[in-house]
Amino acid sequence: MSRRQQKRERMRKIIIKAAQEAFSTQPYDNVNMDEIADKALLSRATLYNYFDNKETLYFEIGLENYKEMQRIFPQVLEIEPTGLDKVMKLSTLVFQGIMRNSINFDIVRHFMEANNQAEHPIEETYDQYTQEELDDLPITSDTALLRYFNELMKYMKIWWDIIETGQNDGTIRSDLPPKHLAQIIQIYITGVLDQMVLVRRALEYLELPQETVMKIMLENLRKTLEP
Amino acid sequence: MSRRQQKRERMRKIIIKAAQEAFSTQPYDNVNMDEIADKALLSRATLYNYFDNKETLYFEIGLENYKEMQRIFPQVLEIEPTGLDKVMKLSTLVFQGIMRNSINFDIVRHFMEANNQAEHPIEETYDQYTQEELDDLPITSDTALLRYFNELMKYMKIWWDIIETGQNDGTIRSDLPPKHLAQIIQIYITGVLDQMVLVRRALEYLELPQETVMKIMLENLRKTLEP
At B104-163, the pLDDT tens digits run: 888 988 998 888 888 888 998 999 999 999 999 988 988 999 999 999 999 999 999 999
Which chain B residues touch A if contact means CB-CB below 8 Å?
Answer: 109, 112-113, 115-116, 121-123, 176, 179-180, 183-184, 186-188, 190-196, 198-206, 208, 212-213, 216-217, 219-220, 223-224
CB contact under 8 A, A186 and B195: yes
Domain limits, CATH 1.10.357, in chain A: 53-225
| Class of B1-50 in CATH | mainly alpha
- Give the residue with greater pLDDT, A83 vs A200: A83
Report how far apart the first and last C-alpha atoms of chain B are (Å, whole number).
Answer: 48
What CATH class is the domain B52-225?
mainly alpha
User: Are the Cβ atoms of A195 and B186 closer than 8 angstroms?
Assistant: yes
Write the residue in A112, A180, A194 that is nearest to B191 by C-beta: A194
Smallest CA-to-CA distance from A211 within A100, A126, A121 is with A100
Task: Give the side-chain half-sphere CA count within 13 A for A127.
Answer: 7
Q: pLDDT > 90: what percent of chain A?
A: 64
Say which of A195, A212, A224 has its CB closest to residue B191: A195
Q: Report the b/e string of B7-17 with b at 16+ CB within 10 A.
A: eeeebbeebbe
Say if residues A16 and A60 touch (Cβ distance below 8 Å): yes
State yes or no: pLDDT of A198 exceeds 90: no
Interface touch B183/A202, C-beta < 8 Å: yes
CB-CB: which of A123, A186, A188 is closest to B201?
Answer: A123
Q: Where do the CATH 1.10.10.60 domains begin and end in chain B?
A: 1-50
Ranges A88-102, A113-127, B66-80: which has the least confidence: A88-102
Q: Where in chain B is the domain with CATH 1.10.357.10?
A: 52-225
- For residue A174, give the DSSP letter: -
How much is the pLDDT for A47? 92
pLDDT over 90 (residue A162)? yes
More confident residue, A103 or A58: A58
Fold assignment, A53-225:
Tetracycline Repressor; domain 2 (1.10.357)
